[in-house]
């Protein structure tokens, strides 16, 4: 009986958590291993935008399905996840970018998505408090936002209620293979038998898959986020403008970030697969600061032990909590206040950062592999995975239960990397 199959999920981010939930809904009782706490890494540290607009066309059907799922999640999971379908607005002062937005509305139209280009006066109607002029923007009313930590934990809690076992502070140390098929997952407490293993290990996936002979090119970049003091109710729209991105939370505070501005904390691991990233890195150089700091020195310290992997060995009990870039956040706050001066004296009350895992084409891998059979990879969400979380987890459950998903996943295969058949990244935001 299919439901008797043993499934072990590695990673308690939104992808692993939603996969666990949708597998339970299909009658399975998966085990989820999380090396730290669920939502401890990207899934609890992101901006919380649930956005369909501006995505790679390959992701649009999966994202539109996610949007439908998000709309019902608060009642389905039975928890406050701060879901708000208030729309998303991408602003620009660049005529070329505005043209790209216009082009993107054609893609949106072909999928029946409600994206449109707005001018200054329409912008003033959408968010009257914005006192800065913009050439225009891309607006999608059906987009939304949610609280990252609450949403991810709500999936875990609902999965647990339906019979999943969530093991916290329990790293997966490796996958056991017998006759070309997965048969178990090694942990410090012994080996767990498995007919299927789901690798949803986020920024650690490439490293985790390496001993299996799988070469997933994956890099990580550091993004910083802050929460402001509570402000007057201003907007339900998530906004991405030059120099600042923001969304207002249920308590009235804003999550703000610098928009397109990240750090690359160089490690020896950064060299792995770097040839795949060089071209797009150079094309986007202005968005990145490279840091040769603590992360690299730590690598040199562990060189003798762990040359190939470069990073910290997977297996330590921890949550990676990188340092936020306070200078970047200060600039973001300044830009935020310049856009919304009537909010008065807004301050930052806390800040944090997270490592975003990216693939060379900025598309995820969602794939049930044949070698080894039984390994399902769901990772590489490249800064878009919070929004995609529900549908990606559901697709994983469908791949295991039904052997296929109703959504076309052919752009998300693992083989596109070893075969060098992946496209250039689609870039709008």
Q: What is the DSSP string of 388-414?
A: HHHHHHHHHHHHHHHSS-SS--GGG-S
| Minimum CB distance to ligand FAD smaller for 246 or for 422 | 246
CA nearest 221: which of 95, 328, 373?
328
Q: What is the DSSP string of 343-400?
A: G-S--EEEEEEEEEEE-TTS--EEEEEETTEEEEEEE--TT-HHHHHHHHHHHHHHHH
Query: Closest distance between ligand FAD and the C-beta of residue 314, in Å?
Result: 4
Q: In angstroms, how far is CA 26 from the centroid of its own chain?
A: 24
Residues 385-424 that bind ligand FAD (CB under 6 A): 385-387
Residues 288-327 that bind ligand FAD (CB under 6 A): 314
| Minimum CB distance to ligand FAD smaller for 135 or for 167 | 167
Could you say which of 223, 310, 374, 390 contacts ligand FAD (CB under 6 A)?
Answer: 223
- The dihedrals phi and psi of 255, each to the nearest 5 degrees, come to -90, 125
Pairwise CA distance, residues 95 & 134, whole Å: 10
Count of residues engaged in binding ligand FAD, rule: CB under 6 A: 40
Interaction between residue 379 and ligand FAD (CB under 6 A): yes
| Minimum CB distance to ligand FAD smaller for 92 or for 309 | 309
CA dihedral for 30, 407, 68, 256, sign (positive or negative): positive
Interaction between residue 12 and ligand FAD (CB under 6 A): yes
Interaction between residue 254 and ligand FAD (CB under 6 A): no
Stretch that binds ligand FAD, among 30-38, 211-219, 266-274, 409-417 (CB under 6 A): 30-38
| CB-based contacts of 237, cutoff 8 Å, min separation 6 | 86, 87, 88, 89, 126, 127, 139, 247
Query: Closest distance between ligand FAD and the C-beta of residue 373, in Å?
Result: 21
The DSSP bridge partners found for residue 357 are 220
Pattern 255-294, binding to ligand FAD, x per CB under 6 A? Answer: ----------------------------------------
| Minimum CB distance to ligand FAD smaller for 172 or for 339 | 172
Residue 381, both tokens:
């969400």
Judge contact between 239 and 89, C-beta under 8 A: yes
Could you say which of 7, 8, 20, 34 contacts ligand FAD (CB under 6 A)?
Answer: 34
Cα first-last separation, the chain: 45
Residues 152-191 that bind ligand FAD (CB under 6 A): 171-172
CA nearest 226: which of 50, 86, 346?
346
| Minimum CB distance to ligand FAD smaller for 52 or for 105 | 52
Interaction between residue 150 and ligand FAD (CB under 6 A): no
Could you say which of 7, 13, 134, 369 contacts ligand FAD (CB under 6 A)?
Answer: 13
- The dihedrals phi and psi of 182, each to the nearest 5 degrees, come to -65, 145
Pattern 331-370, binding to ligand FAD, x per CB under 6 A? Answer: -----------------------x-x--------------
| Minimum CB distance to ligand FAD smaller for 71 or for 135 | 71
Interaction between residue 208 and ligand FAD (CB under 6 A): yes
Residues at the contact surface with ligand FAD, assessed by CB under 6 A: 10-16, 33-36, 40-43, 45-49, 171-172, 200-204, 208, 223, 225, 314, 354, 356, 379, 381, 383-387
């Amino acid at each position: 009986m299919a439901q008797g199959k043993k499934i072990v999920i590695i990673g308690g981010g939104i992808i692993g958590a939603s996969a666990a939930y949708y597998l339970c809904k299909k009658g399975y009782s998966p085990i989820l291993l999380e090396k730290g706490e669920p939502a401890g890494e990207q899934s609890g540290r992101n901006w919380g935008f649930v956005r369909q607009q501006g995505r790679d066309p390959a992701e649009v059907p999966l994202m539109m399905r996610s949007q439908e799922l998000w709309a019902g999640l608060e009642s389905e999971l039975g928890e406050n996840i701060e879901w708000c379908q208030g729309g998303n607005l991408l602003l620009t002062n660049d005529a070329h970018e505005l043209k790209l937005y216009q082009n993107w509305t054609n893609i949106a139209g072909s999928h029946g998505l409600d994206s449109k280009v707005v001018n200054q006066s329409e912008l003033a109607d959408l968010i009257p408090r914005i006192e800065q002029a913009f050439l225009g923007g891309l607006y999608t009313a059906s987009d939304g936002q949610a609280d990252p930590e609450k949403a991810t934990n709500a999936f875990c809690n609902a999965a647990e209620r339906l019979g999943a076992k969530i093991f916290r502070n329990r790293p997966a140390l490796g996958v056991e293979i017998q006759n070309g098929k997965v048969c178990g997952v090694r942990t410090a407490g012994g080996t767990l038998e498995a007919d299927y293993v789901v690798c949803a290990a986020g920024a650690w996936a490439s490293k985790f898959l390496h001993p299996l002979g799988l070469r997933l090119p994956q890099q990580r970049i550091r993004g910083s986020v802050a929460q402001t003091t509570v402000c007057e109710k201003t907007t339900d729209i998530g906004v991405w403008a030059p120099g600042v991105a923001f969304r207002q939370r249920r308590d009235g505070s804003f999550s703000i970030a610098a928009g397109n501005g990240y750090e690359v904390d160089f490690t020896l691991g950064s060299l792995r697969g770097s040839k795949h990233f060089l071209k797009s890195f150079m094309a986007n150089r202005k968005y990145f600061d490279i840091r040769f700091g603590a992360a690299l020195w730590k690598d040199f310290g562990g060189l003798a032990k762990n040359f190939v992997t470069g990073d910290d060995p997977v297996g330590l009990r921890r949550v990676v909590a990188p340092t936020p870039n306070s200078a970047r956040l200060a600039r973001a706050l300044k830009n935020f206040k310049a856009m919304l001066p009537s909010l008065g004296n807004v301050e930052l009350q806390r800040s944090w950062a997270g490592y975003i895992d990216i693939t060379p084409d900025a598309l995820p891998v969602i794939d049930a592999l044949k070698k080894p059979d039984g390994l399902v990879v769901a990772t590489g969400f490249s800064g878009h995975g919070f929004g995609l979380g529900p549908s990606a987890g559901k697709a994983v459950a469908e791949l295991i239960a039904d052997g296929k998903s109703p959504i076309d996943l052919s752009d998300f295969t693992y083989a596109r990397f070893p075969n060098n058949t992946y496209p250039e990244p689609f870039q709008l935001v």
